[in-house]
Chains A and B, each alone.
Chain A
Amino acid sequence: MSSAMFGAVESGIIYAIMALGVYLSFRILDFPDLTVDGSFVTGAAIAAILIVNGTNPFFATLLAIGAGFIAGCITGLLHTKGKINPLLAGILMMIALYSINLRIMGRSNVPLLNEESIFTKIEAFFTSTGLDALFASMAAAIGLQNLTSTWSVLISMLVVTALIKVVTDLFLRTQIGLALRATGDNKRMIRSFSANTDQLTILGLGLSNALVALAGALIAQYSSFADVGMGIGMIIIGLASVIIGEAIFGTKTIAVTTFAVVGGAIVYRIVVSLALRVDFLETGDMKLITAVIVIAALVLPQLIDGQKERRRKKKKRLQQETKINEMKKGGEGYASTKSNSQSI
């Protein structure tokens, strides 16, 4: 494992939070929500501008989450009360947020170099308590050396993402969570059980975009800048994570599926970082690579299933044929003995 790979895993774990948000809207609510491209940047912009102005980074991140929640709720309102098609409601919110994000930042790019961020704070904590040295020596023991200057990002984000995954699982099993899932599954049915599907849709989109904005805020602090264009194609990356994860890890239960989504986000980052090592590919080809990965994740399982099905049928046909052949043989034998007996 090289340090580039290590970085891919690190950022994959942070992007997994965004993927969980996309999972909530795309899979649970069955709502293809393009707000994500905007709300991701909103999270990053709010965190960045507040941090630059001296706000505590944890508090800044919290406010970013709140902004994402509001953005999602507005998309939900556009769809439920304004009766706007889900895709269009998302797109409208996405372009509206582009301008809002510019307003928040005041310029198109806010650098966070040498600023106090969540990660500098956590790293300081890890160093002072000796945790960093501990993890480094543990890694060295299994032969992983000189991968990173600090283990604090990986470990802390692993804890945060796992926590969000578990809380999401638990939430989806509460009474409200069940009603939310039913809203995505069968609106007519859950309305006949006195659930307000409009409210639930708004809540679901709010929660989804809150997670997306949190990921945006963390990525801004992780890569030390917020940029107005950093959200372009984010929805596709989220979908890629969900689809890849589901294809690899399955969707047996909610807990398995959310695990798959987190896994999918990490796998996606690793695949991208591997692809970028290919000589003729450049950083600008990222989006193209993403598109190819998503297409592969969508088409490959079908091809594999088709292959399996063909093989199964072939096997079945062979079995049938041998059975018929055996019967024929048996019949011939019987006939021949009969003719023999007659000749005698």
Chain B
Amino acid sequence: MLQLNQIHKVFNEGTLDEKIALEDINLTLKPGDFVTVIGSNGAGKSTLMNMISGVLTPDVGEVFIDDRKITNLPEYKRSRLIGRVFQDPMAGTAPSMTIQENLALAYNRNRRRTLMKGVTKKLRTTFQEALGTLHLGLEDRLSAKVGLLSGGERQALSLLMATFTEPKMLLLDEHTAALDPARAALITKLTGEIVERTELTTLMVTHNMQQALDLGNRLIMMDSGRIILEVDGEDKQNLTIEALLHEFQRIKGSKMTSDRALLG
């Protein structure tokens, strides 16, 4: 499904602010995989997401979706294949437009936009059915402006919009981080439901270890632009936060000792 081959990315190369964002990233996702990505700030998680969605292009390396090379495909063309939900609840919807207009924008993701009416009667029924699956009562507020919705409601709507046309891939960039615990739990639950129902190949960045363990069938940990740990299958099911932290210390520790050995 998704394939990243030897991705390298450096910001501000040759200056004092030089930062290696990604170093030799190799990652292959099988259809239906749900991968959670954890790592501290600056580990390269967001850069990885931007590399897949086309906001950034790699210095070295290739990106494939379904064996199609998309390394240099511009963001707007790539987004036919990739659904995204951002961390900021304001980022995924158009606030001055109504719920149904926002859904119509999402509905036209993989169609050529024409001078046909954006919101038709038939579409409205489709939208209502889809909104019903969120259990937030949004199906009765089709003509409400999205700017009036709460952060949680907007994020739920963003999630629905991102998955509406069943793209090849779903990218979730800390999409529950800006919500209160109750709303975050709701969005996490909805995410699980939607991904299970649509069998979307999903990559989710999170800072919440518990969320990373609860969701998905694979987990990767990143640090300083590298993937330092990959867990999948049964190991992932049996993983605990303690074990994860322990593993992190072990890897970091061994790296530190090897560094010391090098210097010594």
Contact = CB atoms under 8 A, between A and B. Distances in A.
A195 interface: yes
B116 A191 contact: no
A185 B95 contact: yes
A189 interface: yes
A128 interface: no
8 contacts: A174-B115, A181-B101, A186-B90, A186-B91, A188-B91, A190-B105, A194-B79, A195-B113
A171 B91 contact: no
A265 to B, nearest CB: 22
Contacts, number: 84
Given A182-B105, A192-B79, A192-B84, A175 B113 contact: yes
B114 A186 contact: no
A320 B254 CA distance: 67
B200 interface: no
B104 A185 contact: no
Given A185-B96, A189-B93, A174 B114 contact: yes
User: 6 tightest CB-CB pairs across the interface, nearest first?
Assistant: A185-B94, A175-B113, A178-B118, A194-B79, A182-B94, A194-B80
B94 A186 contact: yes
Interface residues of A, number: 22
A17 interface: no
B75 interface: yes
A308 interface: no
Given A174-B116, A176-B115, A191 B94 contact: no
Interface centre among A177, A189, A191 (most CB of B within 10 A): A189
A280 interface: no
Contact of B76 (A177, A178, A195): A195
Contact of B117 (A173, A185, A192, A197): A173
Interface in A167-224: 171, 173-179, 181-182, 185-186, 188-197
B97 A178 contact: yes
B115 A175 contact: yes
Interface residues of B, number: 36
Nearest to B161: A193
Contacts of A197: 76
Interface centre among B94, B116, B117 (most CB of A within 10 A): B94
Nearest to A177: B118
A193 B108 contact: yes
A191 B101 contact: no
Nearest to A171: B115
B94 A189 contact: yes
Interface majority SS on A: helix, strand, loop or mixed? helix
Interface in B80-134: 80, 82-84, 86, 90-97, 101, 104-106, 108-111, 113-119
A176 B113 CA distance: 5
B77 A194 contact: yes
Contacts of A188: 86, 91
Contacts of B71: none
Contacts of A173: 117-119
Contacts of A195: 76, 105, 113
B53 interface: yes
B79 A174 contact: no
B114 A175 contact: yes
B207 to A, nearest CB: 21
Contacts of B105: 178-179, 182, 190, 193, 195
Contacts of A189: 91-94
Contacts of B104: 175, 178
A177 B105 CA distance: 10
A65 B8 CA distance: 50
Contacts of B106: 193
A248 B261 CA distance: 75
A192 B173 CA distance: 13
B199 to A, nearest CB: 21
Interface in B42-92: 53, 75-80, 82-84, 86, 90-92
Contacts of A171: 115
